[in-house]
Amino acid sequence: MLRIAIQAKGRLNEQSIGLLSEAGIGVAESKRKLISRADGFPMKVLYLRDDDIPQAVAMGVADLGIVGLNEVAEKNFPVERTMDLGFGSCRISLAVDRTADYNGLDYFRGKRVATSYPNILARFFAEKGIDAEIHTIKGSVEIAPAVGMSDAIFDIVSSGDTLISNGLVEVEKVFYSKAVLIANPKLDEQKRRETAQLTFRFNSILESRGMKYVLMNLPQEKLDEAITILPGMRSPTVLPLAQEGWCSIHAVICESQLWERIERLKALGAEGILVLTLENMIR
């Protein structure tokens, strides 16, 4: 039975539980729980702090973990990055006081920079040849310049609203992060099979996002032109209608291309067009 670690609370908790739910795996709420049994898959769920998840997976306390790539890079424990999960996107950036005369990375030479990600920042400064003081802070990093603890910060940025409210401005985007599934590199054969089953479910969900299932009726004489417009898993599905000279076409279209392609198909004479949400797509 697999043991998967997820964030006990915070920005990735709800999205992790939501992904598991879409995969047919029921998970109990994490309130006052450290571990619970999942429904719909042979799995136990561990609720941990996000910065503890890479270590737990590396030690074998958990077989798998859902965690931000930033924590994997910061802790640098020996884990396998199994797949990207399509949510939790953010970046870690350098920010300075909005009144500062910022003129490039040389600004940070000899400056004090507060961060919860000292290892990522140290590697970045080393690559750029910047000699700065890195101060590790747990908690509200963005207040450090205001109370005189630092000249700048290196912290997670999503919308940027927190920086603005603290009189800071983002000046260098250093590291881009997203939620990833990580695995212990020493999983036995049985657990690797179970992991493959789990990632199969996850991939089916992720591949269906942003896709629409489209059905329409079309004059048979326009079929060849329509097929050049429509994508498909291999090719569009074509079915004859009871009315002679007409057919029905079924296809999966990326949402970003949907309306442009529908307009082209209508110009060919397509009618009775139905657009349906695609829940899962299994290749």
Digit-coded pLDDT (tens) for 40-72: 999 999 999 999 999 999 999 999 999 999 999
105: Cβ contacts below 8 Å, ≥ 6 apart: 128, 130, 172
Q: What CATH number does domain 90-177 carry, 3.30.450.90, 3.50.50.60, 2.30.110.10, 3.40.190.10? A: 3.40.190.10
Query: Within 10 A of 2 (CB to CB), how many other CB atoms are there?
Result: 20
CA distance 128 to 132: 11
Helix (H, G, I), strand (E, B) or coil at 28: coil
Name the one residue in this structure whose structure tokens are 């032109």: 225
Could you tell me which of 212, 6, 183 has the C-alpha nearest to residue 81?
A: 183
pLDDT in tens, 122-141: 999 999 999 999 999 988 89
What is the percent of the chain where pLDDT is above 70?
97
Which CATH class, in words, describes the domain spanning 2-87+178-207? alpha beta
Q: Enumerate the domain spans of the chain.
A: 2-87+178-207, 90-177, 210-277
What b/e readout covers 84-107, taking b as 16+ CB neighbours within 10 angstroms? ebbbbebbbbbbbbeebebeebeb
Identify the band that residue 267 occupies on the pLDDT scale cut at 50, 70 and 90. very high
Domain pair 2-87+178-207 / 210-277, same fold? no
